[in-house]
Amino acid sequence: MAAVHKILTDFYEDTFTLLAIHSSLEDYAMVYALNLCLKSNFRRTSKDLELYEEVTFPLFEWKDHKNDRFLTLFTNNGTKEEQSFKGNLFENEPSYTRFHVVPEYKEADYLLKIEHDDDLEGNFVKLLANIPKVVTVYAIEIENIKSRTNLIF
């Protein structure tokens, strides 16, 4: 009989900061505002993030060569259209199911992942809070997120 070994430690110890952004802006408008505010060059990736079946989340990336950082912006919310079952009162109407990259922070519209070696979250929070139509920005404690495997991409 073969022995079963379980690994209880988390080997993913990358240094990154995760910022939650609350805003009513569409993703293209948010990227445009970020590019103006941060003097960055976010571009949409050729492949979207797909965590659930038929649910994708658009990804925007920027490699900051000057400061040796890699930034990724993605929406936290995704929807999937499903057809109603027969016999339902609204059988001809589609229903929508919402999915989140980080379900613990469903209220956040966007997440900004900043891969770096130094502590700079305060600077980014101040800069992003000045963008019009951004309601609030705050850092998320990564240790408190149960779904942090969704952030590995």
Q: What pLDDT is recorded for position 137?
A: 92
Beta bridge partners of 121: none
Q: Which position has the higher pLDDT, 36 or 78?
A: 36
Question: What average pLDDT score do residues 2-11 get?
Answer: 58
Q: Which residues of 41-63 are buried (b: 16+ CB within 10 A; e: fewer)?
A: ebeeeeeebeeeeebebebbebe
Q: What pLDDT is recorded for position 55?
A: 76
- Mean pLDDT, all residues of the chain: 80
Which residue from 107, 110, 99 is spatially nearest to 55, judged by alpha carbons?
99
Q: Would you say residue 32 has pLDDT above 90?
A: yes
Q: What pLDDT is recorded for position 110?
A: 92
Question: What average pLDDT score do residues 37-63 get?
Answer: 84
Beta bridge partners of 21: 110, 137
Q: Which position has the higher pLDDT, 48 or 129?
A: 129
Question: What average pLDDT score do residues 2-25 get?
Answer: 72
Read off the pLDDT of residues 70-85 as tens digits, 9 standing for 90 and up.
Answer: 899 988 887 776 666 6
pTM here?
0.77
Read off the pLDDT of residues 87-109 as tens digits, 9 standing for 90 and up.
Answer: 666 666 777 677 778 888 889 99
Question: What average pLDDT score do residues 135-144 get?
Answer: 86
